[in-house]
Amino acid sequence: MEDMLFYDRVQFAFTITFHYIFPQLTMGLSLMIVYFKWRYLRNKIEKYNNAAKFFMKIFAINFTMGVITGIPMEFQFGTNWAKFSELTGDIIGQTLAMEGIFSFVLESSFLALFIFGEKLMGQKLHFLTGFLVFLGSWASGWFILATNAWMQYPVGYEILDNGKFVLDNFSSLFTNPWLLPAFLHNQVASVVTSAFVMASIGAFYILRNKHSEYGKLFLRTGVVFGFISSVLVAFPTGDWNAKNVAKYQPGTFAAMEGIFETEDAGAEIVLIGQPNMVDKKLDNKIAVPNILSFLTYQEWNKQVIGMDQFEKEELPDNIPALYYSYHIMVGLGTIFIGVMALAIFLLWRKKLYTIKPLLWTIMFLVPFPYIANLTGWYTAELGRQPYLVYGLLKTSDGISPTVSSGNTLFTLLGFIALYMLLGLLFLVLVGKIINEGPTPKTH
């Protein structure tokens, strides 16, 4: 049973990690495409329209890869996690179905119209199709986060005698106090990824002295969006999420902050440290006194409950992984704010396009927003363990007893091979689009 649970979790973790590489770019990029199209409608400068169409090509490839890699996860609910689906399907099936019926159809339909229908529709309707693509992609995030929010903080449910969960209040799915802060944090984080991708393409063009006009536009736009979103992802959205965890999952909050013992006179915030699970402490830590109490409760000396106040079963089952995921996310977010703040300053001083070390830095930082987004999701999911539905349904009770660990391992190896090929294809296709550039071809 332990082997089955381990391989089921590893397979889902791998497939969802690879899948989320793509939606985090499409959700943020859709907003920036709408911005370019809006600028074109305002001033009729053709480069904005070309920029919108250029990034919609990248969006389309991302969207396609997201669909391909998302489908296996849906099937895993019925194969590896059949018991979870049986018990909770009356609830999570509704939000997942709405994501497919409303968001996916909206996004895919108007994506095709945006790419192929500009001349037929005219510019205002073309803008509208781009806006509807944006609306569909963000609605998709809303429904997925509504599903996850219910798993993190279940509301509006009733448990029948046979153990099944059913809704007794449909609206509670979308008024869940966990949902809005999680959604805003997730969406703003996707804009961070998209902004760094756009800025890095701009930096690449400037450094190569190729498509320089578009390079400056992409770099300037990416830096502005990147600075604003990097700040917003920390405050207020990140702060709001952390306070939610402290309120609704206090044991998880203590674990991700590395608080082994309750601190009555104000809790310190740990900048660096390594969890020592044997001695129940942080090794080699660097901390600032009282800051965590102030950030969480706006009181310098407020008590923050430590892990010593919880039974072992009430705490996450992999505290070091949770702690490191959280701190990697926060550390990278801090770096993003610093880099983008410097870029904004140099843009204001009209020196951004000539500072090559910063251009190289922006270009090579591209993978790190992806890492920050993924470790943010790891923080949320590791924090909920050992539960699928927090406090109500254990992860070990949600797997399919008839699917052997050998079958799961075999299909996991197949997913790894297939997804590596898909990843290579994705890089080749996007690389080709970037190499060709946004300048329209003349015939």
Predicted confidence (pLDDT) per residue in 291-303, tens digit = 999 999 888 988 8
Residue 73 lies in a domain: no
Residue 341 lies in a domain: yes
Residue 360 lies in a domain: yes
Residue 223 lies in a domain: yes
Residue 301 lies in a domain: yes
Decide: 304 and 259 in contact? Cβ < 8 Å. yes
Of 72-86, 237-251, 369-383, the poorest mean pLDDT is in 72-86
- Residues 204-216, mean pLDDT to the nearest whole number: 96
Domains contained in the chain, number? 1
Decide: 384 and 398 in contact? Cβ < 8 Å. no
Which pLDDT does position 103 carry in this prediction? 83
Residue type, 1: M
Residue 108 lies in a domain: no
Residue 203 lies in a domain: yes
155-200 per-position pLDDT tens digit? 999 999 999 999 999 999 999 999 999 999 999 999 999 999 999 9
Cα separation, 385 vs 358, in Å, equals 40
Cβ-count burial 404-423 (b if 16+ within 10 Å, e if not) = eeeebeebbeebeeebeebe
Torsion of CA 302, 305, 306, 307, to 10 degrees: -170
Residue type, 85: S
DSSP string, 236-258: THHHHHHHHHHHH-HHHHHHHHT
pTM value surpassing 0.75: yes
- Residues 86-96, mean pLDDT to the nearest whole number: 94
Residue 237 lies in a domain: yes
- What are the DSSP E strand ranges found in 73-222? 157-159, 165-167
Residue 441: how many other CB atoms lie within 10 Å:
6
Cα separation, 140 vs 20, in Å, equals 13
Q: Which domain holds residue 271?
A: 185-376
- Mean residue pLDDT across the chain: 94
Which pLDDT does position 109 carry in this prediction? 86
**Of 312 and 332, more confident:** 332
Answer whether residue 409 shows pLDDT above 70. yes
* Partners of 166 in the β-ladder: 158
